[in-house]
């Protein structure tokens, strides 16, 4: 589905990603782990199309298309969804306005008919129950005055409505208590299908108890230094990152 | 003679011709006020950028024009009028064309109980004492040359008197339409709201045609104890128009006044909004919005005088400026020595949509009392990058995403308007302009 080849990216002239190679196929869940500052969130933002980052080398193919040529909005229309680590508050713009515009923009891009108000409402109501959000959220401004947990649940709710092909969850577990974590993880698991894929970016292993990854990658200093299956996540939880970093250093 | 003197001489000459059309009305006491006003007009100078209150507001474009007084009602497309009117069944409706009252377009025959509504020229005949007690008091001609000019030519406009304890549920809409034909109009309103009364008034200014015109407008409000007033002012003049206005509000004890000053039109616009607390425990909310494009220039000068203790003022003015348009905001809040327990909040927020747009903003607080809560601030910025990226990352195209954010920024000002039809209309006008 997505092929990332030798990806290098800078911000303000500083190189953050130093040659990432990663392939994710349909139906797979990949976890990207690593200590703070290793470039995990940068990778997520670069895939989503944040313009603050400059890609200096490499390519990203998404279902065969050159993703780097597309602006963020068209990447989303192609089926990429980034669940933000820090969802921004947008006073004055209701969740309904956001979702309706987003959904219809994506449908238009794909040559599908826009949904009318009734169809939209019934879709949205169906998806709300997935993350246990109440309907009054629809009228509220996007993330304004939401608790940390509500913001993360709202991200997953948006994902449920927009039904992306590739979802990237950027530190979705940070700031969540155990109940919120369970709700969010359940939502993500229910949205999984053989046709879509998920990249879970996380610092801790605990989210991976709920969202079971097929592959685990360790990102350090802008490169993937080790890949494995879900047992690697447990090993990292027990032993920390140092041993992987040392092991990688010996290989150089 | 420089252009400033030329225009002045012209207005004075025109005043004498205007006088001659008044016939018997020249004997009414209002005419003495007019004559005093033209004297003051003649003694005062047009402001220049050397005057503190006009530092960023160069009136030379106005001075280089010549205008003649409107002397007749032009042909007008009813569609144009209807575009601006609200449901006549639910509103009391007054329409003035080129300053003249239009019975044809108005709907003011069966008035709610407790409401007296006249044109200002009728009112001076029917209720001379009442009018003369308040006319030209809160908006004085002493220092303001444009108020003096308006007063000198005051003949058209609206007089509203709300009786004690009367709650007028029907909002009153007053529409002033001008044909752009190198004319000037001087709408003059006097609104008296008595004790315990409640009223909602909407003033709309619009124009049609290709030439220029000059609306020089004054509204005086006297709001008596415990009265509640909501005032919406929609300025949607033609893009060649000059528009100068003064809204002067006297607030007595425990009154509640909300103002919405919405500006879309005009080539050169200067609005003065002056509110004064004459009694304690009163509340004044000033909301403003200016949306400009092309080479429009819109200046809002507000002043709130906390002359008495225990009052609240809250002010929010927002601007969205595109192309090479310019905006000016100047907000003064005075808290006098005796005005303890004052709460005064003031905000001016601007979004510049182009590199060539400019806004000059100056919020000012002058506090002479010590037990007060006051804050003020101004921001000038572009759209929030993080918010924009968030919307785009959800698949919304950049143009729509920007429009959504601009709309949210602007519609905030009109959210609290209690008259649903008016709020809806303004929201759809904004959507039309911004989305």
Residue of chain A whose Cα is closest to the Cα of B408: A92
Residue B1 above 70 pLDDT?
no
Percent of chain B with pLDDT over 70: 99
Tell me what percent of the residues of chain A surpass a pLDDT of 90: 69
Choose among B290, B296, B239, B232: nearest CA to B263: B290
Q: Do B386 and A88 touch (CB under 8 A)?
A: yes
| For residue B435, pLDDT beyond 60 | yes
Q: Which of B386, B392, B407 sits opposite A72 (nearest CB)?
A: B392
- Give the Cβ contact number of residue B62 at 10 Å: 21
Please give the Cα distance from B320 to B327 (Å, whole number). 9
Q: Look at residues B187, B176, B193 and name the one whose alpha carbon lies nearest to residue B247.
A: B187
For the cut 70, the answer to whether the pLDDT of residue B314 exceeds it is yes
pLDDT score of B53: 92
**Which of A50, A71, A105 should be substituted to probe chain B, the one whose Cβ sees the most B Cβ atoms within 10 Å?**
A105
Contact A73 B395 (CB under 8 A): yes
Interchain pair A76, B404: CB under 8 A? no
Exposed (0-12), middle (13-18) or buried (19+): which is B427, by Cβ within 10 Å?
Answer: middle
Read off the pLDDT of each residue in B225-232 and give the average, rounded to a whole number: 98
Instruction: Return the closest-CA partner of residue B227 out of B262, B201, B251, B259.
Output: B251
pLDDT of A134 reads 84
User: What pLDDT score was predicted for residue A216?
Assistant: 94
Q: CB within 8 A of A25, min separation 6: which ones? A: A1, A197
Nearest alpha carbon to residue A26 among A185, A217, A233, A214: A214
Pull the structure tokens for residue B227. 């009265």
In this predicted model, which residue has the larger pLDDT, A34 or B270? B270
Exposure of A123 by Cβ count < 10 A (0-12 exposed, 13-18 middle, 19+ buried)? Answer: middle
| Averaged pLDDT, B156-164 | 96
Contacts across the A-B interface (CB distance below 8 Å): 75
Q: What is the pLDDT of residue A109?
A: 96
Residues 34-93, chain A: which have Cβ within 8 Å of B?
48-51, 71-73, 75-77, 81-82, 84, 87-88, 90-93
A88–B393 C-beta distance less than 8 A: no
In the predicted structure, residue B323 carries a pLDDT above the cut 60? yes
Give the confidence band of B6 by pLDDT, cuts at 50, 70, 90: confident
Q: Which residues 173-232 of A have a C-beta within 8 angstroms of B? A: none
- Do residue A76 and residue B392 have CB atoms under 8 angstroms apart? yes
pLDDT mean over B165-187: 96
CA-based nearest distance A99→chain B, Å? 8
Euclidean distance between CA atoms B18 and B32, whole angstroms: 14
Mean pLDDT of chain B: 94
* Nearest CA-CA distance, residue A135 and chain B, Å: 20
At A42-54, the pLDDT tens digits run: 999 999 999 999 9
In whole angstroms, give the CA distance from residue A16 to residue B73.
71
pLDDT, one tens digit per residue, over B31-79 is 999 999 999 999 999 999 999 999 999 999 999 999 998 888 899 999 9
Please report residues of B whose CB lies closer than 8 A to that of A92: 407-409, 411-412
Residue B389 has pLDDT above 60, yes or no: yes
Question: pLDDT by residue (tens digit) across B98-147?
Answer: 999 999 999 988 899 999 999 998 999 999 999 999 998 888 888 899 99
What's the average model confidence in pLDDT over A111-125?
Answer: 93
CA distance B238 to B243: 10
Nearest to A92 by CA among B409, B47, B314: B409
- The whole-angstrom separation of Cα B275 and Cα B246 is 11
The rounded distance, in Å, linking the Cα atoms of B405 and A93 is: 7
Characterize the bridge pairing of strands A14-24 and A2-11. antiparallel
CB contact under 8 A, B392 and A92: no
Euclidean distance between CA atoms B402 and B399, whole angstroms:
5
- What is the pLDDT, as a whole number, of residue B146? 97
Query: Taking all residues of chain A, what is their mean pLDDT, rounded to a whole number?
Result: 92
Three-state SS string over chain A comes to CEEEEEEEEEECCEEEEEEEEEEECCCCEEEEECCCCCCHHHHHHHHHCCCCCEEEEEEEEECCEEHHHCCHHHHHHHCEEEECCCCCCEEEEEHHHHHHHHHHHHHHHCCCCCCCHHHHHHHHHHHHHHHCCCHHHHCCEECCCCCHHHHHHHHHHHHHHHCCCEEEEECCCCCCCHHHHHHHHHHHHHHCCCCCEEEEECCCCHHHHCCCCCEEEEEECCEEEEEECHHHHHHHHHHCCHHHHHHHHHHC
Distance CA B304, CA B339 (A): 12
| A4-15 residue pLDDT tens | 999 999 999 899
Does A198 have pLDDT greater than 60?
Answer: yes
Question: What was the pLDDT predicted at B62?
Answer: 93
Tell whether the model's pLDDT for residue A78 goes beyond 90: yes
pLDDT for the residue numbered B433: 82
Residue ranges of domains in chain A, CATH in brackets:
2-251 (3.40.50.300)
CB atoms within 10 A of CB B133: 11
**C-alpha distance from B386 to closest chain A C-alpha (Å):** 7
Rounded Cα distance, A62 and A65, in Å: 5
The answer to whether residue B227 scores a pLDDT higher than 80 is: yes
Q: For residue B356, is pLDDT > 60?
A: yes
As a whole number of angstroms, the distance between CA B255 and CA B123 comes to: 25
- pLDDT top residue among B160 and A148: B160
Q: Does A133 or A151 have the greater pLDDT score?
A: A151
Confidence band of B251 (pLDDT split at 50, 70, 90): very high
Cα distance between residue A184 and residue A200, in whole Å: 12
Residue B22: pLDDT band by 50, 70, 90 thresholds? confident
Our CA angle for A127, A148, A94, nearest 5°, is 50
Closest CA to B205 of B183, B182, B173: B173
Nearest to A76 by CA among A49, A58, A42: A49
- Among candidates B386, B397, B404 on the partner chain, residue whose Cβ is nearest the Cβ of A97: B404
Contact: B393, A82; criterion CB under 8 Å:
yes
- Three-state SS string across chain B, please? CCHHHHHHHHHHHHHHHHHHHCHHHHHCHHHHHHHHHHHHHHHCCCCCCCCHHHCCCCCHHHHCCCCEECCCCCCCCHHHHHHHCCCCCCCEEEEEECCEECCCCCECCCCCCCEEEEEHHHHHHHCHHHHHHHCCCCCCCCCCHHHHHHHHCCCCCEEEEECCCCECCCCEEEEEEEECCCEEECCEEEEEECCCCEEEEEEEEEEECCCCEEEEEEEEEEECCCCEEEEEEEEECCCCEEEEEEEEEEECCCCEEEEEEEECCCCEEEEEEEEEECCCCCEEEEEEEEEECCCCEEEEEEEEEECCCCCEEEEEEEEEECCCCEEEEEEEEEECCCCCCCEEEEEEEEEECCCCCEEEEEEEEEECCCCCEEEEEEEEECCCHHHHHHHHHCCCCHHHHHHHHHHHHHHHHHCCCCCHHHHHHHHHHHHHHHC
HSE, side-chain direction, 13 A CA sphere, residue B246: 23
Which residues 6+ apart lie within 8 Å of A191 measured at CB? Answer: A130, A156, A159, A160, A163, A167
| Number of neighbouring beta carbons within 10 Å of residue B77 | 9
Cβ–Cβ under 8 Å, residues A92 and A59 = no
Angle between helices A178-191 and A148-162 (to 10 degrees): 10
**Angle at the Cα of A19 (from A13 to A24), degrees rounded to 5?**
125
* pLDDT interval class at A252 (50, 70, 90): low
* Per-residue pLDDT at A74: 97
Dist CA B310 CA B277 (whole Å): 10
- Judged on CB neighbours under 10 Å (0-12, 13-18, 19+), B51 is exposed
pLDDT tens readout for residues B253-301: 999 999 999 999 999 999 999 999 999 999 999 999 999 999 999 999 9
What the block records as the tokens of A55 is: 């890609």
* Residue B391: φ, ψ to 5°: -65, -40
More confident residue, B202 or A13: B202
């Amino acid at each position: 589905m997505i092929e990332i080849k030798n990806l290098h990216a800078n911000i303000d002239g500083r190189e953050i990603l130093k040659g990432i190679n990663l392939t994710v196929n349909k139906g797979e869940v990949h976890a990207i782990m690593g200590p703070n500052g290793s470039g995990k969130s940068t990778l997520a933002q670069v895939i989503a199309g944040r313009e603050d980052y400059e890609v200096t080398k490499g390519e990203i193919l998404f279902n065969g298309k050159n993703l780097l040529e597309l602006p963020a909005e068209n990447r989303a229309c192609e089926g990429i969804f980034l669940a933000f680590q820090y969802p921004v508050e947008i006073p004055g713009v209701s969740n309904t306005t956001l979702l309706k515009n987003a959904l219809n923009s994506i449908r238009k891009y794909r040559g599908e008919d826009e949904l009318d108000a009734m169809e939209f409402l019934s879709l949205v109501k169906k998806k709300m129950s997935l993350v246990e959000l109440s309907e009054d959220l629809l009228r509220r401004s996007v993330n304004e005055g939401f608790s940390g947990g509500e913001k993360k649940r709202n991200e997953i709710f948006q994902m449920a409505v927009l039904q992306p092909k590739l979802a990237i969850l950027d530190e979705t577990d940070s700031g969540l208590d155990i109940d919120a974590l369970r709700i969010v993880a359940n939502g993500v698991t229910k949205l999984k299908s053989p046709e879509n894929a998920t990249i879970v970016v996380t610092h801790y292993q605990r989210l991976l108890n709920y969202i079971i990854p097929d592959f685990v990658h360790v990102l350090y200093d802008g490169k993937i230094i080790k890949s494995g299956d879900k047992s690697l996540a447990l090993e990292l939880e027990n032993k920390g990152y140092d041993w992987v970093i040392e092991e990688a250093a010996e290989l150089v | 003679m420089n252009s400033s003197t030329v225009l002045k001489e012209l207005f004075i000459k025109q005043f004498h011709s205007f006088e001659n059309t008044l016939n018997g009305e020249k004997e009414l006491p209002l005419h003495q006020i007019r004559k005093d006003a033209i004297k003051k007009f003649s003694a005062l100078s047009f402001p220049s950028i050397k005057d503190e209150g006009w530092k960023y507001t160069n009136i030379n474009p106005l001075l280089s024009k010549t205008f003649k007084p409107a002397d007749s009602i032009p042909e007008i497309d009813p569609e144009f009028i209807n575009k601006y009117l609200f449901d006549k069944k639910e509103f009391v409706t007054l329409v003035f064309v080129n300053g003249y009252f239009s019975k044809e377009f108005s709907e003011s025959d069966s008035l709610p109980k407790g409401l007296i509504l006249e044109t200002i020229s009728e009112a001076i005949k029917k209720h001379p004492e009442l009018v003369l007690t308040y006319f030209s008091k809160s908006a004085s001609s002493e220092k303001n040359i444009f108020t003096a000019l308006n007063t000198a030519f005051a003949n058209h406009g609206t007089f509203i008197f709300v009786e004690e304890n009367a709650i007028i549920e029907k909002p009153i809409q007053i529409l002033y339409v001008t044909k752009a034909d190198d004319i000037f109009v001087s709408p003059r309103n006097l609104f008296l709201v008595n004790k315990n009364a409640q009223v909602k008034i909407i003033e709309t200014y619009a124009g049609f045609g290709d030439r220029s015109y000059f609306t020089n407008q004054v509204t005086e409000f006297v709001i008596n104890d415990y009265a509640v007033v909501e005032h919406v002012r929609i300025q949607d003049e033609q893009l060649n128009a000059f528009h100068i206005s003064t809204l002067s509000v006297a607030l007595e004890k425990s009154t509640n006044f909300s103002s919405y000053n919405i500006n879309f039109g005009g080539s050169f616009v200067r609005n003065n909004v002056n509110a004064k607390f004459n009694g304690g425990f009163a509340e004044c909310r000033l909301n403003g919005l200016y949306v400009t494009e092309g080479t429009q220039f819109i200046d809002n000068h507000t002043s709130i005088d906390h002359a008495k203790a225990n009052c609240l003022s809250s002010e929010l003015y927002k601007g969205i400026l595109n192309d090479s348009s310019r905006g000016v905001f100047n907000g003064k809040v005075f808290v006098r020595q005796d005005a303890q327990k004052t709460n005064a909040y003031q905000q001016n927020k601007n979004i510049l949509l182009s590199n060539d747009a400019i806004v000059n903003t100056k919020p000012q607080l002058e506090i002479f009392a010590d037990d007060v809560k006051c804050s003020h601030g101004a921001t000038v910025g572009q759209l929030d990058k993080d918010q924009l990226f968030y919307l785009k990352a959800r698949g919304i195209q950049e143009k729509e995403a920007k429009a959504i954010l601009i709309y949210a920024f602007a519609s905030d000002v009109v959210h609290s308007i209690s008259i649903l039809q008016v709020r809806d209309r303004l929201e759809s006008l904004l959507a039309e302009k911004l989305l």
